[in-house]
Amino acid sequence: MLKEVTATRYITPLREGGSLPGLVEADDLGTYVLKFTGAGQGRKTLVAEVLCGELARRLGFRVPRLVTVDLDPVLGLGEPDPEVQELLRSSGGANLGMDFLSGALGFDPLAFPVSRAEAGRIVWFDALINNVDRSWRNPNLLVRRGDLWLIDHGATMIWHHNWPGAETSAARPYDASDHALARFAPDVASAAADLAPRVTADLLAEVTAEIPDAWLRGEPGFGTPDELRQAYARPLLSRAATVHERITGTEPAARRPAARTTPEGKK
């Protein structure tokens, strides 16, 4: 399971995205970007962050360390924004924290070239999890000490918002024409040859085990958290083998102009 920490100080809201995450300090002396159970899509966003973030880590991508953060809503009483106060009041208990990457800068494709191999690996992974939020408008990539880091996986696996249609949704092609790395001619075939065989039932069982039971209970159609964990694993396992054949939009004509991005503190 993810490491558990307790928030000791609410520092400030981060306003770059609609989910309004906050910056907090915790009892392990770490500083975390906190995503709240009371925001937007609620716990499903946190489930997606854990599953995709921990899968990415095991496949060799750089992602911020994830922890569960126990939040006492009283920490936000001094926050003057009523919207933030309401968010804190509705998010008591376990929330999701991500290591704050001090010194990281938002990815700018004009300033930071990416190899075909690395671009291919990231595009393949985003196709696997159906990430619709790594566009040239909003890359959700950070550069720290010359390395690319992947952040913000809440808008992935859209099939988990409609489980009866999950199989059909997971079988659809992935359009990478707006992807932040499409301009670098990503070598998706080589990425698939390396990464697809590593996405096994055992690996997905290990990753889904990281999701707290509290975020899985009560899902309509599922009796136990473990049943829901298996439902999350099935589309990813079937998708891994062939998704590279259904990625479109990486040809040169589909590349889009670059957009400058902001530093850490994504939505």
Three-state SS letters, the chain = CCEEEEEEEEEEECCCCCCCCEEEEECCCCEEEEECCCCCCCHHHHHHHHHHHHHHHHCCCCCCCEEEEEECHHHHCCCCCHHHHHHHHCCCEEEEEEECCCCCEECCCCCCCCCHHHHHHHHHHHHHHCCCCCECCCCCEEEECCEEEECCCCCCCHHHHCHHHHHHHHCCCEECCCECCHHHCCCHHHHHHHHHHHCCHHHHHHHHCCCCHHHCCCCCCCCCHHHHHHHHHHHHHHHHHHHHHHEECCCHHHCCCCCCCCCCCCC
Cα–Cα distance measured from residue 123 to residue 175, given in angstroms and rounded to the nearest whole number: 10
Q: Which pLDDT value is given to residue 51?
A: 98
Q: What b-and-e string marks burial along 181-200, b requiring 16 or more CB atoms within 10 Å of the CB?
A: bbbbbbbbeebbeebbeebe
Q: Which pLDDT value is given to residue 7?
A: 97
Q: Which pLDDT value is given to residue 76?
A: 79
Q: Which pLDDT value is given to residue 18?
A: 63
Domain ranges for the chain: 3-99, 105-254
Helices 43-58, 201-208: inter-axial angle, 10-degree rounding = 130
Q: Which pLDDT value is given to residue 45?
A: 94
Structure tokens at 115: 């190899």
Other Cβ atoms less than 10 A from the Cβ of 75: the count is 18
- β partners of residue 6: 70
Q: Strands 247-248 and 174-175, how do they pair?
A: parallel
**Nearest CA among 30, 49, 29, 31 for reference residue 39:** 49
Q: Which pLDDT value is given to residue 265?
A: 43
Structure tokens at 70: 């126990």
Residues 6 or more apart from 137 whose CB is under 8 A from it? 178, 259
Q: Which pLDDT value is given to residue 207?
A: 98
Taking the chain (267 residues) in consecutive chunks of 10 residues, what is each chunk's mean pLDDT? 94 78 95 92 92 98 98 86 88 96 94 96 98 93 96 94 90 94 96 98 98 95 96 96 94 49 43
